[in-house]
Amino acid sequence: MVLAVIVVALFAGGLAIGAALAGVPPFPFRSTPTIQDFFRAHPGAVQAAAIGIFGSSVPLAIYAATASARLRQLGVTAPGATIALAGGILSAAALGLAGLLIWTLSRPAVTVDPVLVRALYFLVYLTGGPAHVVGLGLLVAGIAVPSLILGLLPKRVAWAGLVIAVVAELSVLVLIWPGLSVLLPIGRVPALVWLVAAGALLPVRRGREAVAA
């Protein structure tokens, strides 16, 4: 649970500091001059957001490894634990890359080139958006499915995880229709909250031998 709380604190903290210093960043599909002006005018705020986002990727990767190991200790021998690990690592890697790209957008040598700014900002949107959220959905599903089958979590919590995972996976549709970008926060925020809850509720050991799930 502590790792998930750290992820949320770093991620939300970086975004909050950036927004407090510079306001909400423009949507990636706004005009190039609008995006370029934002990054040229607020390098400090951009760096603060980048540090928080990149920093949150490290405990997310550790959470995925820890959750996967705990599932195996609890008797999960089918792909659930591996899916959780793979999804968490993919999600953390995408988030870390997004943080590094955002930091790059704080450099004056980069922001003078409107085409480069536009390209990097699209990469930020893709890595910190669908790539991160889809991986996050796999992490949630990898924990929720075996937890539902083996009764490792309360049923309502496990079912909620499955619903959240489905929404997170559907966020890949933004690659077809950017208007569905609302799926990104709808998938991301509940997933992070669910990981905090799952970390607190998942038992350390079982009293009896578990069946493969």
Q: What is the pLDDT along the chain (213 residues), one digit of tens a residue?
A: 788 899 999 999 999 999 999 888 999 999 999 999 999 999 999 999 999 999 999 999 999 999 999 999 988 887 889 999 999 999 999 999 999 999 999 999 999 999 999 999 999 999 999 999 999 999 999 999 999 999 999 999 999 999 999 999 999 999 999 889 999 999 999 999 999 999 899 887 765 444 333
Residue 209 lies in a domain: no
Residue 212 lies in a domain: no
The predicted structure's pLDDT at residue 58: 96
The predicted structure's pLDDT at residue 207: 52
- Asked if residue 10 lies in contact with residue 201, where contact means CB atoms within 8 angstroms, the answer is no
The predicted structure's pLDDT at residue 168: 96
Q: 13 is in which domain, residue-wise?
A: 2-201
The predicted structure's pLDDT at residue 89: 96
Residue 11 lies in a domain: yes
Task: Count structural domains, the chain.
Answer: 1
Residue 124 lies in a domain: yes
- Asked if residue 152 lies in contact with residue 208, where contact means CB atoms within 8 angstroms, the answer is no
Residue 85 lies in a domain: yes
Residue 36 CA to residue 120 CA, distance in Å, equals 11
Residue 103 lies in a domain: yes
Residue 38 lies in a domain: yes
- The pTM score is 0.90
Q: How many residues does the chain have?
A: 213
Dmax (CA) of the chain: 63
Residue 210 lies in a domain: no
